[in-house]
Amino acid sequence: MPDFVSMDTKLYSEKIMKSKQINRRNFLAKSSLGILGVGTSTGFVRSMSLEDDPNSRIDEEYKIKEYRILGRTGFQISDIGCGPVTISNENLLKAILNTGVNFIDTAEGYGNGNNERMVGRAIKGFNRNSIFVNTKIFISENDTTENIVSRVRKCLERIDTDYLDGVMLWNASSIQEIGNNAFHQAIDQLKNEGRVKYCGVSSHGATWDGRTKDSMGQVIDAAVEDGRYDLVLFVYNYVQQEMGQEILKVCAKKNIGTTLMKTDPFGGVALGIFDMVKNYENDTIPEYLRTIYERIIEKQANAESFLKEHQLDDENTKREAAIGFVLNDPAVHSALISFKSFTDIDDYISLSGKRLTAENKMMIKSLQESLGHLYCRHACGICENQCPHGVPINTIMRYNHYLMAQGREKYAIKKYYELPGSKPDVCSECEGLCEASCPFGVSIRSLLSIAHQNLSINLV
């Protein structure tokens, strides 16, 4: 079990005590957060109790309760991991680490390297061997082995660490990228030097820049078959199940470590659009939202009635259903959360060790029916093959997710501005071949229009 050195948690403890006085979250207190002791053959590791960290002053409810073996790395990582922390102050990350979270994901491009620097400052004082630090680097066709080695060394300098547990090929969008010789030669060299332990890959699917049509599943499958990748990072949630489940099966057979992103499908974009549209009156609805308005209003009444009848109409139960779904599968090793505040620690760490309940299943069914048409299945790529204008649908939807769900407005708008190819303003006169080809009934043209409005707001 990870051996953590306690940090000063006064600020976090005060935050937790305040939240307890305001809202004790009765549903979570009654829910089945069972402390399970399952054999490592399933990928689960025994739960953690306060006795494992006697110096901690944080309430047990806000401690990681379960660790899982990260595939063939053999590393025991927390079932709730830390995605890119959207803060500039390392105190939040220190508080996250003090709960027992021991998987940190970052990248050279997050905040122009500032996120890596923040990670480096935050892990000081903790047992470095107990924390899995994973960073990601973007590789182009022109990168050389020497260039990649140099960039990884700069990652090491920014994080101020002697070694990196994982270095991932960042956002691989094609099968061809998986076999990049310069990348693998660089990783081999850094492994031999003891500077990198494990190699990984993350993927959102095709970027649709005219070079590739490979889906996220095809990219990750290629990485698993390649044999040189030890861990992967991909999208999986209860709405986008099919592709993720196949990836998990393939990874389990080859003992590849699995980490997840975008685990809460309705925690950001879909719910935000739903709340935005339902507050309009029919005669005041903007033109770009009109095609989606009636569909949302039609589904709203049935959804709200069901949720209230079963007392499932708050954000805590939605969050619990999302985390319970992914952690219910032993092939999942860690669900990465992009923590934005101390409140997020309260909300997510208490779900460590979670399993899917009957109430969760009812919640999932209702949300799928009412909001499923507002969630683009990231990285499936099905509709892009049918677009006559070559609109990079997957990438645009992802940038809108960054803006609406993660609050990364400037980054999303900048990336959208730089995106080559057609923009959704060509969709107004299109017959909608993308929607006709979507097996999930997603309102693609409306979602693209909303994304275009959001991402073009500061552009001239």
* 3-state SS, residue 397: helix
Among 305, 292, 339, smallest CA distance to 319 is for 339
Edge-to-edge, what's the strand order for the sheet holding 76-78?
Answer: 44-47, 66-69, 76-78
Whole-number pLDDT of residue 394: 81
**Residue 363 confidence (pLDDT):** 84
pLDDT score, position 444:
86
Number of H helices, E strands in the chain: 18, 11
CA distance 371 to 445: 16
- Residue 337: how many other CB atoms lie within 10 Å: 27
**Residue 139: which residues within 8 A CB-CB, separation 6 or more?**
148, 169, 170, 177, 180, 182, 183
**Which two structure tokens, joined as six digits, stand for 199?**
């190699």
The residues spanned by each domain of the chain are 10-264+316-357, 269-313+362-455
Instruction: State residue 432's pLDDT score.
Output: 83
Q: Considering only CA atoms, which of 199, 224, 204, 228 is closest in space to residue 214? A: 204
Count Cβ atoms below 10 Å from residue 326 Cβ, excluding itself.
22
**Residue 306: predicted pLDDT:** 58
Sequence length of the chain is 460
Q: Which class in CATH covers the domain with range 10-264+316-357? A: alpha beta
Distance between CA 176 and CA 397 in Å, rounded? 23
Residue 428 CA to residue 445 CA, distance in Å, equals 8
β-pair partners for 78: 67
Q: Give the per-residue pLDDT at 280.
A: 66
Q: Which two tokens stand for residue 289?
A: 């939202």
R_g over Cα of the chain: 22
pLDDT at residue 256 in the model: 98
Cβ-contact 168, 342 below 8 angstroms: no
Angle at CA of residue 214, ends 213 and 215, nearest 5°: 115
Buried b (16+ CB within 10 A) or exposed e, 125-135: ebeeebbbbbb
Predicted confidence at residue 255, as pLDDT, reads 98
The helix/strand/coil state of 38 is coil
Quote the Cα angle for 407-58-102, to 5°.
Answer: 60
CA distance 296 to 410: 29
Closest CA to 390 of 262, 196, 213: 213
**Residue type at 345 in one-letter notation:** I
pLDDT under 70 in the chain at which residues? 1-59, 86-88, 206-212, 267-272, 274-283, 287-314, 378-379, 457-460
pTM of the model: 0.79
Write the secondary structure of 275-293 as one string of H (helix), E (strand) and C (coil): HHHHCCCHHHCCHHHHHHH
The pair of structure tokens assigned to 150 is 């140099």
